[in-house]
C-alpha cells in the first residue's frame, strides 16, 4: 500500500552513512534539526513512529470527512479520537505560530 511505503521511508535505519553524523542517528548531531524552536538531540526519524505517521494520515482523511472505522463518530476507538484531538491542537498551534 502507498501509505506503508511512504511510512517506511521514515525509518532512521535507512539514513545513509553520510547523513548519520549530520542528523545524529547514533549520537550528538553535527547539524541538529530544529523542532518547536529547540535543537533536536537526535535524528528526527527516531522520533516519528510508524504509528504516529499512520495516525496523521488518518487524521488527514478525517478532515476530509472520512472516519477510520465503520460507524458514527461514537463508534470510533477512544484512542483514535484522543490522537485526533492532539493532532488538531498541534495543527492549530502551528497555524497560530505562522500568523505571528
Among 21, 32, 33, 45, indicate the residue that binds Zn ion (CB under 5 A). Answer: 45
Binding of Zn ion by 25 (CB under 5 A): yes
User: Which grid coordinates belong to 26?
Assistant: 547514533
Among the listed ranges 35-43, 52-60, 67-75, 77-85, the one in contact with Zn ion (CB under 5 A) is 35-43
Neighbouring residues of 92: CB distance < 8 A, sequence distance ≥ 6: none
Among 7, 12, 58, 83, indicate the residue that binds Zn ion (CB under 5 A). Answer: 12
Give the Cα separation of 31 and 27 in Å (integer).
12
The residue to which cell 532512521 is assigned: 12
Binding of Zn ion by 10 (CB under 5 A): no
Please identify, using beta-carbon distances, which residue of 23 and 59 lies nearer to Zn ion. Answer: 23
Per rule CB under 5 A, count of chain residues that contact Zn ion:
6
Answer whether 10's CB lies under 8 Å from 53's CB: yes
Amino acid at each position: 500500500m502507498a501509505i506503508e511505503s511512504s511510512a517506511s521511508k521514515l525509518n532512521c535505519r535507512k539514513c545513509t552513512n553520510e547523513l548519520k553524523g549530520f542528523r545524529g542517528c547514533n549520537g550528538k548531531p553535527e547539524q541538529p534539526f530544529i523542532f518547536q524552536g529547540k535543537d533536536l538531540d537526535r535524528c528526527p526519524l527516531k522520533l516519528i513512529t510508524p504509528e504516529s505517521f499512520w495516525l496523521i494520515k488518518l487524521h488527514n482523511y478525517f478532515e476530509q470527512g472520512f472516519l477510520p472505522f465503520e460507524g458514527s463518530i461514537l463508534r470510533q476507538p477512544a484512542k483514535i479520537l484522543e490522537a485526533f484531538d492532539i493532532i488538531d491542537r498541534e495543527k492549530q498551534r502551528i497555524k497560530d505560530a505562522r500568523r505571528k
